[in-house]
Amino acid sequence: MTTYDPDNIFAKILRGDIPCHKVYEDDAALVFMDVMPQSPGHTLVVPKAPSRNLLDADPAVLAKMVPLVQKIAIAAKAAFNADGITLWQFNEPAGGQTVFHLHYHVIPRYEGQPLRAHAGKMEDAEVLKANAAKLKAALG
C-alpha cells in the first residue's frame, strides 16, 4: 500500500484550496456534491482525517463516518425523491479507487434509470448549487 498523498484533490478541497458545493461540515467530515454526478444528488462524504482508504483508516474515524453517511443517505433519498440509494466506497486501484483519500459516494437511484458515467463532463455549477441547497434543506 502506498502512503497518503496530502496533495490529493480531496485534501485540497478540505484545505479550501479548491472550491466545492458544500452540503454539511463538522469537526470530523465534509460533505459536498460530486462534480461529475452519476445521478442528481450524488454526494461525497469525506473524513477530515488523512487516510488513503478504509484499509488504513483509524477505526475511530470510521466510527464517526457511518452514522454521517446514513444521515446523508436518508436526506438524499427524501430531497431527490429517490427510489433507493447506492453507497460506494472503493479501496486501491484494483478496487476501483481513483482518488486516494477515504470517501463515500451517496447516490440517489431511480427504478429503471441507469447511472451516468462518472467521467467526462462536469455538471453545471448552478445545478450543483441547487442540489446542495435541496440536500441541506432535507438535513434540516
Q: Point out the residues that are catalytic.
A: 103
Taking the mean position of all CA atoms in its chain, how far away is CA 117? 16
Q: Are 74 and 39 in contact (CB under 8 A)?
A: no
Please name the amino acid found at residue 109: R
Q: Would you state the cell numbers that stand for residue 106, as one nine-digit string? A: 451517496
DSSP 39-73: STT-EEEEESS--SSTTT--HHHHHHHHHHHHHHH
- How far is the CA of 89 from the CAs of 18, 44, 110, 111, 136, in angstroms? 22, 10, 20, 22, 22
